[in-house]
Amino acid sequence: MCLISLRNIAVPPTSSPLHLLTTVFGHPAFRGAQAEIVTHVTSGGDALVLMPTGGGKSLCYQLPALLRDGTALVVSPLIALMQDQVAALKQVGVRAAFLNSTLDGREANAVERALRSGELDLLYVAPERLMMPRMLELLEESRIALFAIDEAHCVSQWGHDFRPEYLQLSVLHERFPDIPRIALTATADPQTRDEIVLRLALDKARVFVSSFDRPNIRYTIVDKNEARAQLLRFIQEDHAGDAGIVYCLSRKKVDETAAWLKTQGVRALPYHAGMDTAARAKHQARFQQEDGIVVVATIAFGMGIDKPDVRFVAHLDLPKSIEGYYQETGRAGRDGTPADAWMAYGLGDVVQQQRMIDMSEGGEVFKRVLRTKLDALLGLCESAGCRRVRLLDYFGEPSVACGNCDNCLDPPQTWDATDAARKALSCIYRTGQRFGAVHLIDVLRGKTTDRTTQWGHNKLTVFGIGADLDEAMWRNVFRQLVALGYARPDHEAYGALQLTDASRPVLKGEVSVEMRRVVVVKGGKEKTAKARRGASSSSAAQPNTALLDKLKDWRYVEAQAQSVPAFVIFHDSTLAGIAATNPKTLDALAGISGIGAKKLDRYGKAILELLHST
Ligand code: ADP
Ligand code: ZN
């Protein structure tokens, strides 16, 4: 095949981006704006690329790296990420290397020599390393094709991943004004974008904004009642044996949840900033390299994850904002195949997040910003309409109902909750605005407890006026009242519910209140994604699972032998493609996305033998 000759000499000038995409990477076509970006950067233009996670940013600089003369320098903030990228590039026959603190002096020298003599297509470096005077001199002596600045939002001081070293990257523009630069990020908001342009002096760059939709991710937000049991059911029924991430708010809850999942047979590992560095690194590495590990983590587990086959992200606690939620759920399904974003949400979450804001150190303006962000997220949780439409709308992107979220697949019923809301609010009022939902529900349902008797609440007119609704229903009513702003917890009084300005018109019967009805199926369980999937006709053709398992076993052995993560050998989507089409010849195998010339050469025969050995 032509690949060997292709890599031994420089890429011939006749090579088109599409030709390289198919022969080297094995993909039949470009996605979205990739082709345009590649052409622009290859011809020497600067670019700012805003694309969601999994959108295919890497190819936007990897192809120009092959098409332009010299070595592409890729600035990347995380060492683990670099190693996997380089391993994956080597698999497809691209001459890639990295320079970071894991190399000893001799290894680093060898890489530097290769750079100087033009033997590298791509070189990954950490920003602090790039800024060393010695490194900058080395670059001046070498032929540089382009600079790619990955995770460019790290220049943003207000963002979540600020890296001070990134601020110095504007030096690149000053010292190498003629070398094109491409900055890439999955952070969408305009403020961060402006900061990137400003700090990296990219004002002449062309900006490529992709749709931020992640169509393969299915969004589901369930009503929290027994969060752990709900989570376990979700994992067992929809994601047995899959890799996933479970986010919790506190370190303690991370530890407890991971330990509990383990007792239930899930291969779960904890990850949070309170663990020692070695244990944390070990868990992250296992997640990255092994199949089917579930990491239970605080949001400290984030940017270092470049695993394409994370099949689900579950939230046991509410994030702070839609930005946070979108970023965290975005770690699922980077490979483009179906993935789930699942969250259990209840009144406690609302109260907890509101308390964190009220008790935080910031000034009033700051708190107001946080409250607005939280309210937008609560709006998403309580919405009876398409979740995706709401998410994208938040990022300023219009869309239509997606057909791939809980509300689209199984439209929630709404009910006229005006009467219930009035009863609940009167109960708050009559009991002196000093009690939380648990007690209020007891009063409404007319339950005699020590507290109802002690406070004389069994004598109130509201005692027992809500006996027609069960406890779960009332919990829902209170949660929605708080989420919708009709009541609010007083954090200085242990979350006692109080009335708000918005309560009065409800109490007086001037406005009506509509609420989502909890989806309850037999046995008091909410429907799982699989149950719904079964009901929907759009589910994709099921691949041959026996073949797929065989392929995964083969991949595991191969990955172990080469000490690389399994996905570096082949992505799940490629294995699924093989299992579904069961190719008989090398040519047929080559037609599957993810199998380029080098991988065909290296693994093609073994795969055909595996497929047709029995
Ligand atoms: P990002 O950096 O934007 O998160 P990646 O560059 O890691 O995304 O790409 C995500 C996944 O999509 C990878 O598995 C990659 O192989 C795949 N991919 C990218 N471009 C294409 C394409 N044109 N056709 C098929 N798969 C693609
Ligand atoms: Zn939808």
**Structural domains in the chain?**
17-209 (3.40.50.300), 217-411 (3.40.50.300), 414-518 (1.10.10.10), 545-613 (1.10.150.80)
With a Cβ cut-off of 6 Å, ligand 1 is lined by: 27, 30-31, 34, 51, 53-59, 308, 334-336, 571, 593
Beta strand 96-99 with 47-50 is unpaired
**Pick from 231, 215, 213: which is nearest to 343 by CA?**
231
Hey, whose CA ends up nearest to atom 15 of ligand 1?
56
- Residue 607, helix vs strand vs coil: helix
User: What pLDDT was estimated at residue 614?
Assistant: 62
Mean pLDDT of residues grouped by 10 in the chain (614 residues)? 40 76 94 95 96 90 97 90 91 95 92 96 94 92 96 79 86 93 85 88 92 94 93 96 95 97 97 92 89 91 80 96 90 92 93 87 81 88 92 87 94 91 96 93 95 93 94 89 86 82 92 79 47 43 76 90 88 89 92 92 93 80
Separation of 352 CA from ligand 2 center, angstroms?
27
- The residue among 162, 158, 117, 116 whose CA lies nearest residue 140 is 116
Q: Which ligand is nearest to the CA of 219?
A: 2
- For residue 34, which atom of ligand 1 is closest to its CA? 23
pLDDT for 29: 92
Query: For ligand 1, atom 11, which residue shows the shortest CA distance?
Result: 335
pLDDT, position 544? 77
**pLDDT at res. 351:** 87
> Residues near 318 by Cβ (< 8 Å), separated by ≥ 6?
343, 345, 349, 350, 352, 353, 377, 381
What SS3 state is found at 415?
A: strand
Q: Which of 27, 86, 91, 574 to mutate to test the pocket of ligand 1 (most atoms within 8 A of CB)?
A: 27
Alpha carbon of 385 to ligand 2 centroid (Å): 7
Cα(473) to centroid of ligand 2, in Å?
25
Ligand 1, pocket-test mutation among 31, 37, 38, 51, most atoms within 8 A of CB = 31
Question: Which ligand sits closest to the CA of 49?
Answer: 1
Task: Return phi, psi of residue 564, to 5°.
Answer: -130, 160
User: CA-CA distance, 514 to 297, in Å (whole number)?
Assistant: 35
Alpha helix segments (H runs only) across 147-276? 164-167, 170-175, 190-199, 227-238, 251-263
Out of 21, 22, 59, 153, give the residue to mutate to test ligand 1, the one with the largest number of ligand atoms within 8 Å of its CB.
59
Instruction: Supply the pTM of this predicted model.
Output: 0.77
Q: How far apart are the first and last CA of the chain?
A: 29
Q: Give 183's strand partners.
A: 48, 149
Q: Which amino acid is at 49?
A: V
